[in-house]
Amino acid sequence: MQRVLVAFGTRPEAIKMLPVVRALRECKRFNVSVAITGQHRQMLDQVFEVFGEKPDIDLNLMTHNQKLPDITALIISQMSIVLGGFRPDLVLVHGDTTTAMATAIAAFYNRVPIGHVEAGLRSFDLAQPWPEEFNRVAIDSVAEYLFAPTSGAAENLDREYSRGRVYVTGNTGIDALLHVSRQIEVEEREGSNSSRPLVELDPHRSLILVTGHRRESFGAGFEGICSGLAKLATRDDVQIVYPVHLNPIVSEVVRARLGGLNNVHLIDPVSYVDMIRLMKRAKVILTDSGGIQEEGPALGRPVLVMRDTTERPEAIATGTVSLVGTDPLRIYSEVSALLDDEPYYQRRARAVFPYGDGTASTQIAKIITESFCT
């Protein structure tokens, strides 16, 4: 059996990689081992429960106030030890995190082939998102298997020097989203969902769901976001739910600026399943998340991205997603336009699937299987 090491450290990576792990295991041709760094410790554990999985190797490398150079060096050194012990034939990483980039470097140093799931995304600005744009460019430069989610991402890779083979597979995040969304719908039909509501919501007010955590928004960016949300909270017809990221640079500003405001519910980070429930319930989603730019359109929810650039132009092209930056007046006016103009809202609130049909994981497993068998 061929040995495949799947490495990740954050909740978004787990959401998008565990479907790949399951697909590889179903092939019966691979000895699959999952190694995690624990970048998102609590949130990561929740996702494993959803998919009925557990890590084989838990490096648990994160410490309080850890700096990027420190965690990068630590991941490279510790993953090198893992590679020496497991001796994989292939290492799979995802996306643009520090875990993915550092693991890819460790694999390259140890002469182990690398597969990059969600390859080819580009904002073409190394400062936005930072450091993620650098991370994904670095991974793509050394990967031998480049699993691009869209034809646009594949074209980005074709325009660059690439030593790897490019495959368009769709995005594995849609696989996970559709799987969990179907589970939620079954639970609701059968009345078996016994979970408590995360927050008491007024059925007569529109729910604005907010997520925000990007490093490039630290400081003035988050001040602007909070000012925009505070202005939105003055509307009598809205209620804002904001699961606040655990990073104190984010949480301290958000709770100081928005804590105690009417119509604003600041809650702790929620599980993946609960986030999907909130997204399905939301009227509008405000976010700086990459994954939600993919998930929102599939759920038929308008998404306003609190960034100036995006590496996901396919979502913008559908008309369901738009960039609003961190300017408070623009945030307020864009949300208000959706709430106040029903025909405009309906044009934006339609289910579209620019990131695949939910079969990306099986396609990736098939490609890897055929590669090893030839």
Please check the confidence at residue 194 and state whether its pLDDT lies above 60.
no
If you average pLDDT over each of 64-73, 252-261, 333-342, which comes out highest? 333-342
Q: How many Å apart are CA 373 and CA 298, to the nearest integer? A: 35
* CATH architecture for residues 2-170+359-373: 3-Layer(aba) Sandwich (3.40)
Topology alike, domains 2-170+359-373 and 196-348? yes
Report yes or no: 208 and 243 within 8 Å, Cβ to Cβ: no
pLDDT band at 373 (very low <50, low <70, confident <90, very high): confident
- What's this model's pTM, rounded to 2 decimal places? 0.88
pLDDT digits (tens, 9 = 90+) for 296-305: 999 999 999 9
Q: How confident is the model at residue 313 (pLDDT cuts 50, 70, 90)?
A: very high
Which has the closest alpha carbon to 55: 9, 99, 92, 91?
9
Give the full edge-to-edge strand order of the sheet including 303-305.
Answer: 264-267, 238-243, 206-211, 284-287, 303-305, 321-323
What is the domain partition of the chain in residue ranges?
Answer: 2-170+359-373, 196-348
- What percent of the chain clears pLDDT 70, i.e. is strictly above it? 97
370's CB contacts (< 8 A; 6+ apart) are none
Query: Where does the chain show beta strands of DSSP type E?
Result: 2-8, 30-36, 57-58, 90-94, 114-117, 145-148, 165-168, 206-211, 238-243, 264-267, 284-287, 303-305, 321-323
Radius of gyration of the chain (CA): 20
Per the CATH hierarchy, to which homologous superfamily does domain 196-348 belong? Glycogen Phosphorylase B; (3.40.50.2000)
Q: Residues with catalytic annotation?
A: 96, 118, 132, 213, 215, 245
